Amino acid sequence: MTDPTKRIAGVVLAGGRSSRFGSDKAEVLYRGRRLIDWSIAALEPHCEVLFVSGHAHPDHHGVSDRPEPGMGPLGGLAGAMQAAKAGGFTHLLSLPCDTPEVRPDLLERLCRSDDGAYIAGCPVIGLWRTSDGGALEDWLTEGRARSVQAWAEAQAYAALEAPPILNINRVGDIGA
C-alpha cells in the first residue's frame, strides 16, 4: 500500500550543455512541441509542484545545481531534492528534457515505489527520497563519480526495467 503522507515534487533536468546536439535541446521542437514541454506535461499529473533545473521557465520554479554549477544531472537532482525537501515533499520525480514520449505508466510505476526507484536503461528518470539530498551533495563534494546510476546503486534504489526510451542527443534523433 502506498504511504498516504508521500508528497511528490517533480524536476525537469534541462541544464546540459547539449554539446552533441549543437544547440539548446530544451527549446528544440519535436512533433510541434518544445522538448522541455514534453517533460513538463509528462510530470504534471504525478507531481504537486514542478522545478526546472538549469533552464529558465516562466511557469515553474527554477533550481540551481548543488553543491555548485556544472555538476551534471546529479547536481540538478541535488538542487531539486533540497528545494523539494524544504517545501515539505518526501519524494522527487525526475525526468530529463530530452526524453519525449515517456509512457505515463512508467512514471506511475515509479511513483508507487515508497523507497524510490530509477529506470535501469535511463537512470536520470527516477523517484528519489528527498531525505537523500544531503547524501547526494556529500557524494558530489567528495568528488565521487557523477553517474546517476552509481549514486542510485550506492543508496540502494531499485532499478526498474522498462522498454527502450527515446533519448534525443543528436539532431538526427529528432526524426526517430
Domains of the chain: 8-171 (3.90.550.10)
Residue 94 to residue 176: CA distance in whole angstroms:
23
| 132, three cell numbers | 537523500
Contact 133, 85 (CB under 8 A): yes
Residue 10 to residue 65: CA distance in whole angstroms:
15
Residue with cell 511528490: 8
Q: Calculate the alpha carbon distances from 142 to 67, 70, 80, 82 in Å.
A: 11, 15, 19, 18
Q: Residue 1: its pLDDT value, please?
A: 39
| Stretches in the chain below the pLDDT threshold 70 | 1-3, 16-23, 170-173, 175-176
| 29, three cell numbers | 521542437
pTM over 0.85: yes
| 120, three cell numbers | 535501469
